[in-house]
Amino acid sequence: MEGMITRPSLLLAAFPPELAGAGEHPPAGWRIGCTGVGAVEAAVATARLVAALTPSRVLFVGTCGAYHPRLAVGDLIWASDALALSLDVLEGRAYRPELECVRWPATLAPALPFPAHTVAVPPGITRDPAGAARLGALAAVEHLELTGVYAACHAAGIPCGAVLAVANRVGPDAHREWRENHARVSGELIAALRELGLFDGR
C-alpha cells in the first residue's frame, strides 16, 4: 500500500570482522549493528538498536566454539535456543534463583536450513576440557553474546534468530584456533546467507 513504512531487518554481530564486509555495504532493507562482546553488553546494545529501529526481525551472525564432536571448523548452525550456563552452578558451587530465566528460544520462522543446536552462553570462555565436556552435555556450542541478544528481542517482541560458524573446538587451544579461523568462517557464513537469498528477498 502506498505510504506504508517498511520496517527494516536488523543484522547483528559482536564486532565488525564477523560481518565479513556486510557492514560496509548493507543489503537493501537491512540495517547493521554491533553488540560488543559479552552477554550483558550485547543485551544493552540490542535493546538500544531495537528501540531505535523497530526492526521486523533480528538475525545475529558470529562464530562459536564446538563442544559436540560431530561439529567441525567451518560448520554453520542455527541457534535454536540460547542457554545461560555456569560451571559453578552445574557443579554445585553456586546456584541460580528459580525465578531467573536462563533459556531463550529463537523466534524467527522459518529458520534457515542449517542444523539446529542449543548454544551455551557461559560468563567466560571455557578452557578446561573437563568443563567443556560438562557444558557440552547441555549444548552443542559455546558463544558469549547470544543470551543477551535473544533476551532483548524477547522483551521487545521482535522475532530473532542466529547463525553461527564454528571457528574452534572448546578447550585449551580454543583462542589460537579462533584467531586462525574466525575471519575465514565469518566470510563463509555471510556468503552462505547471500547464496540462500536472505539479503535479496529470494
- In the block, which residue shows the cell 534463583? 97
Give residues with Cβ within 8 angstroms of 32, minimum separation 6: 10, 11, 12, 19, 22, 23, 26
Nearest one of 58, 86, 74, 187 to 142, comparing CA atoms:
86
What is the pTM (predicted TM-score) of this model? Answer: 0.92
**Per-residue confidence (pLDDT) for residue 201, from 0 to 100:** 53
Q: Which three cell numbers stand for residue 126?
A: 571455557
**Per-residue confidence (pLDDT) for residue 1, from 0 to 100:** 40
Q: Rounded to whole angstroms, what are the CA distances from 48 to 32, 35, 97, 137, 161?
A: 13, 10, 27, 34, 18
Tell me how crowded residue 19 is: count the other CB atoms within 10 A of its CB: 23
Which region, left, alpha or beta, applies to residue 142 given φ > 0 means left and ψ of -120 to 50 means alpha? beta
**Per-residue confidence (pLDDT) for residue 35, from 0 to 100:** 96
Nearest one of 27, 71, 74, 29 to 187, comparing CA atoms:
74
CATH code of the domain occupying 9-195: 3.40.50.1580
**Per-residue confidence (pLDDT) for residue 6, from 0 to 100:** 81
**Per-residue confidence (pLDDT) for residue 4, from 0 to 100:** 46
Q: Show me where the domains of the chain are located.
A: 9-195
Per-residue pLDDT of the chain (202 residues; tens, 9 = 90+): 444 458 899 999 999 999 988 777 777 889 999 999 999 999 999 999 999 999 999 999 999 999 988 999 999 999 999 999 998 888 888 888 888 888 999 999 877 889 999 999 999 999 999 999 999 999 999 999 999 999 999 999 999 999 999 999 999 999 999 999 999 999 999 999 988 888 875 4
**Per-residue confidence (pLDDT) for residue 200, from 0 to 100:** 75
